Structure 1
Amino acid sequence: MTTQEKIIEAEPDEVFAVLSDGWSYAYWRLGISHVRQVDDEFPAEGSRIHHDLGPWPASWQEDTTAMCTQPPHRMELRTNLGLFGVVDSTFTLAAEGDGRTRVTMRKQPTAGFLHWLPAAASDLLMRGRDRETLRRLADVSEHRR
């Protein structure tokens, strides 16, 4: 399991609004190159974002499912990564005062190739990607105002 944190210069409800906007995922979720469709009820439990992973022309179609949503403090997602497996991501948002939010992102491979890798190798593969994902989430959240 990897854990990354970032302070974002936006209120928790503003950050949660970005997490809840499935169409925004291609802007901030590293690896998603194109969002094809978002279920109308997203982020309700069981609803999905249908997207492409990887750069064109080597991209493939996958999806992310909302597993649990507790606005504006928590969202749990399950992303199908094809041959790489399945990764569960949990975003926890905590107000830090002065319009800031501490975002903690925990990711756990639960199936497939990434799940079977030793934890240290899996963490190494995901750590930089997770840091960049949070940097992009901050950019979108802070400039959405």
Structure 2
Amino acid sequence: MSTNTRLVETTPERVWEVLSDGWLYPLWVVGASRMRDVDSHWPQVGAKLHHSVGVWPALIDDSTSVIEADPGRRIKLHARGWPAGAAEVVITLSPQGAGTLVTIEEEPVSGPATLIPQPVRGMSLRWRNSESLRRLAFIAERREPDAARRPGDEGDARRHEVGSSRRSAMNARRRSDSELR
């Protein structure tokens, strides 16, 4: 089994909001390239994400289903991704001060991935899940509460201003970097 942990600087509720939005999975799960459909009762037990893995035109359609769910705390998934096989993935959220300790445990349960020696398999899963946790943290830490995400409200204008300021700063930095060359 491969285990990764990351301290995310937001509440477990905010992290759970990201996990509960199945359409966001390709943004943070390394290897998921697109979402084809999300069952309406996601993330309840039995619900499925219908995703694709790979790069076009070699996309493989598959699914991930919820085996267990404790909202705001833990979700256990059966993730299919042929040709590699299938894995059980447990994501646990633990309050840690003002943040959340997020743990991903992944164990291949079928397919060719089970034939790879554990040390090699563990190394690649640790790299992949470390990046997935990094992406999940980026989304959860920057996600506005639902009430603040209504189009046309002050929060929307403020986010636009902040985005414009960041873009301006990045462009200025690029110009100064190119002047140094």
TM over 0.5: yes
What is the aligned partner in structure 2 of residue 70 from structure 1? 70
Residue 54 of structure 1 aligns to a residue whose secondary structure is strand
CA deviations over 1:6-33 (Å, ceiling 9, x no partner):
0001100110111111000011111011
Letter of the aligned partner of 1:58 in structure 2?
A
- Determine whether 1:87 maps to 2:84: no
Quote the Cα distance in structure 2 between the aligned partners of 1:33 and 1:83: 15
What is the aligned partner in structure 2 of residue 16 from structure 1? 16
Structure with more strand by fraction: 1
In the TM superposition, structure 1's runs of 4+ consecutive aligned residues that sit over 4 Å from their partners are none
Quote the Cα distance in structure 2 between the aligned partners of 1:54 and 1:8: 28
Residue 5 of structure 1 aligns to a residue whose secondary structure is strand
Residue 59 of structure 1 aligns to a residue whose secondary structure is strand
Letter of the aligned partner of 2:134 in structure 1?
R
User: How far has the Cα of 1:52 moved from its partner?
Assistant: 0.6
What is the aligned partner in structure 1 of residue 130 from structure 2? 131
Work out the percentage of aligned pairs sharing the same amino acid: 35
Quote the Cα distance in structure 2 between the aligned partners of 1:88 and 1:20: 18
Letter of the aligned partner of 1:140 in structure 2?
I
Q: How does 1:134-145 map to 2 (within 5 A)?
A: 134-145=133-144
Structure with more helix by fraction: 2
Alignment RMSD (CA, Å): 0.8
The count of residues paired between Structure 1 and Structure 2 equals 144
User: How far has the Cα of 1:133 moved from its partner?
Assistant: 0.2
Quote the Cα distance in structure 2 between the aligned partners of 1:112 and 1:50: 19
Quote the Cα distance in structure 2 between the aligned partners of 1:59 and 1:135: 24
User: How far has the Cα of 1:66 moved from its partner?
Assistant: 0.8
Unaligned runs of 5+ in 1: none
Letter of the aligned partner of 1:107 in structure 2?
E
TM-score normalised to structure 2 length: 0.78
Quote the Cα distance in structure 2 between the aligned partners of 1:89 and 1:20: 15
Quote the Cα distance in structure 2 between the aligned partners of 1:73 and 1:44: 13
TM-score normalised to structure 1 length: 0.96
Q: How does 1:38-57 map to 2 (within 5 A)?
A: 38-57=38-57
Unaligned runs of 5+ in 2: 145-181
Letter of the aligned partner of 2:7 in structure 1?
I
